[in-house]
Amino acid sequence: MISLKNDKEIQKIREAGHIVFLAHEAVKEAIKPGITTKELDEIAENLIISHGAVPSCKGYPEGSSNPFPATCCISVNDEIIHGIPSDRILKDGDLVSVDIVADKDGYFADAARSYIVGKNEKAKKLIQITEGCFWEALKLAKVGKRISDMSHAIQEYAEKNGYGVVKEFQGHGVGFAMHEDPGVPNFGKPGRGPRLEQGMVLAIEPMINEGSPEIEELDDGWTIVTEDGKLSAHYENTIVITKSGPIILTLN
């Protein structure tokens, strides 16, 4: 079931989105050679808690024997998503993807960013195209369009630039929970799936590989990596569909 959100509810999700944004800004500021991914995670966690919100990934899913143990998913280089913050020390040239979900008073927002530690031209191009995939999808985030119109735009933009689209994970509805209907795939033919309606809140999140789209899961039960060991980038925002176009809830 797809839940539509009213203006008051959207305002609450925006509050959560603002806190997610602030957490990303704090992490971005701290990223430099020598810092560990666990230290970055602590910065985001403190920011979220100090704003009266909850880091939604920590302990997720409830009741699991192997819940996610941290606030942020931090995925380095060939890690695509769901990397676990650790004592790993970041070094010049690393590509770092940070995914943060927070809920405030029961309203959830979700966003991811990829950064480069210092310089890495290959990573820079990959991140640009991954962000571009999101913006291509956003052009189609209009009342009356269908979910897979956005999916198709993402795939086309990535593949035309020579990159691989991760297909096993996808965007999703968000707002009253971390994951809601509908799924928002990053690939597919246009003209399929539910029609976009005013009040739909969606996390759109292309995960794009430098090389092959194939993935593997590590033994930690969380970390997803590229099969070929090449780089991967991730970019995600929570948006709301309105009559006058999409509004991004995690960009400020």
Question: Exactly one of 12, 24, 82, 104 binds ligand MF3 (CB under 6 A); which one?
Answer: 82
**What residues numbered 115-174 form the site for ligand MF3, per CB under 6 A?**
none
Q: Which is nearer to Co ion, 112 or 158 (CB)?
A: 112
Q: How far is the CB of 248 from ligand MF3 (least distance, A)?
A: 16
Contacts of 75 (CB under 8 A, 6+ apart): 81, 82, 83, 96, 97, 99, 223, 224, 232, 234
Question: Exactly one of 38, 60, 93, 242 binds ligand MF3 (CB under 6 A); which one?
Answer: 60
Find the angle CA(136)-CA(122)-CA(33) to the nearest 5 degrees.
110
In the three-class reduction of DSSP (H, G, I as helix; E, B as strand; rest coil), residue 121 is classed as helix
**CA 245 from centroid of its chain's CA atoms:** 21
**Do residues 94 and 7 make contact, with C-beta atoms less than 8 angstroms apart?**
no
**Do residues 138 and 246 make contact, with C-beta atoms less than 8 angstroms apart?**
yes
Encoded one letter per residue, x for contact with ligand MF3 by CB under 6 A and - for no contact, window 177-216 reads --x-----------------------x-x-----------
82 binds, among Co ion, ligand MF3, none (CB under 5 to 8 A by kind): ligand MF3
**What residues numbered 24-43 form the site for ligand MF3, per CB under 6 A?**
none
Decide if residue 101 touches ligand MF3 (CB under 6 A). yes
At residue 185, what are phi and psi to the nearest 5 degrees?
Answer: -65, 155
Decide if residue 57 touches ligand MF3 (CB under 6 A). yes
Altogether, the residues listed in the chain come to a count of 252
Locate 181 and state its tokens: 């209907």
Q: How far is the CB of 250 from Co ion (least distance, A)?
A: 10
Distance between start and end Cα atoms, the chain: 29
Q: Which is nearer to ligand MF3, 158 or 224 (CB)?
A: 224
Residue type, 125: K
Rule CB under 6 A: which residues touch ligand MF3?
57, 60, 68, 73, 82, 99, 101, 110, 179, 203, 205
